[in-house]
Amino acid sequence: MIVSEARDYARQWVHEDGSRLPGFQGAYFTGSLTWLAEDAVVGAASDVDLAVVLGGAEAPLKLGKFDYHGALLEVSFTTFKQLGSAEEILAKHQVAGAFRAPNVIADPSGRLTELQAAVGSEYAKRAWVEKRCENARKHVLRYVGYMDESPPFHDAVIIWTFGAGVLAHVLLVAGLKNPTVRLRYLAARELLADYGLSDFYPTLLAPLGCANVSGDDVGRHMPALAEAFDAAAAALTTPVFFASDISAQSRHIAIDGSRELIERGDHLEALHWMLATYARSQHVLASDAPAAVYDEHDAGLRALLRECGIESIADIEARMAEVETLLPRVSAMTQTIMDSNVEIEAQG
């Protein structure tokens, strides 16, 4: 399936089903497909992200992933209050990209179209790029702060992997690239290469502690990860915001997508999402499965973590300190990228 076909199915779902949701006020495309050409092939480990705008102040948890005529849709919810003004959107590194181009699907009031036009005209201005980089930097520091709350071991792993991973987002935002989720390290590696900065990539990976991990080392943990994922997907009953990522519908992304990366030699780039998926699975099992099931799969998670030199919470705390220490160097790198990026416009 190509992007244009996937988009058409998403539009069909919005008009036939999404528009009937209580409080429906509009919908727009978001996620990686908004960065692809209409004739690009939708990867087997990709979905079609769209946001449905509802009335009220706070949106419910996302609807999640589901198959619609062969297209895997992932529907999340937001509100106009949560979106904010065009200026607020322009400053949010995880939101602005969806509004940089015409991605509106339905807009009864015209407000989404107005927001898109305003954001699109300012998106590439350097002042706004710098604000989004700063927004991403603050996101890193929020993860650093979460460790002060003494989280359970599996949640500490989630905090560490995502906190380190947002460093890649800081760079991607500076390059006017998609701050993608699962493939963030692969995208950051390509970005750095484009700017002749490949020497910095090992430094970006350093907080993961995976420099000496081989493809065989990573690949031998895939069966255990798949078993933990399947157990969590079957057990999940307690609502969590990442529920759609731990589900039968997303298995080919989390498991098969990681295996594909390993097989083509991108095992270091696969490792981030494997760790996050394993830890998220354990979070689900801690809430919704017998303790024996949790303990069984905890052993597998810890075996994967040992590949990265992680044995304890203290080790994770040390890695989070590395993330915080590395942040100024990443921030300096964004200035180098922005100075060389011909797509960034001076404020005028």
DSSP codes joined into one string, 226-279: HHHHHHHHHH--S--TTGGGSSGGGHIIIIIHHHHHHHTT-HHHHHHHHHHHHH
117-157 tens-digit pLDDT: 999 999 999 999 999 999 999 999 999 999 999 999 999 99
User: For residue 110, what pLDDT is reported?
Assistant: 97
pTM score > 0.85 for this model? Answer: yes
Mean pLDDT along residues 89-110? 97
Burial class of residue 302 (count of CB atoms within 10 Å of its CB; 0-12, 13-18, 19+): middle
- Specify the length of the chain in residues: 348
From the centroid of its chain, how far is CA 65?
A: 15
153-204 tens-digit pLDDT: 999 999 999 999 999 999 999 999 999 999 999 999 999 999 999 999 999 9
User: For residue 278, what pLDDT is reported?
Assistant: 98
Supply angle C-alpha 55, 6, 62, rounded to 5.
35
Q: How confident is the model at residue 45 (pLDDT cuts 50, 70, 90)?
A: confident
Asked whether the predicted pLDDT for residue 347 surpasses 70, the reply is no
205-262 tens-digit pLDDT: 999 999 889 999 999 999 999 999 999 999 999 999 999 999 998 999 999 999 999 9
Please list, residue by residue across 10-35, b when 16 or more beta carbons sit within 10 angstroms of its beta carbon and e when fewer do. bbebbeeebbeeeebbbbbbbbbbbb
Asked whether the predicted pLDDT for residue 27 surpasses 60, the reply is yes
| Distance in angstroms (rounded) separating the CA atoms of residues 113 and 108 | 10
Ordered domains of the chain (ranges, CATH): 3-123 (3.30.460.10), 127-327 (no CATH)
Mean pLDDT along residues 271-296? 97
Task: Please answer whether residues 43 and 32 qualify as being in contact, where contact means their C-beta atoms are separated by less than 8 angstroms.
Answer: no
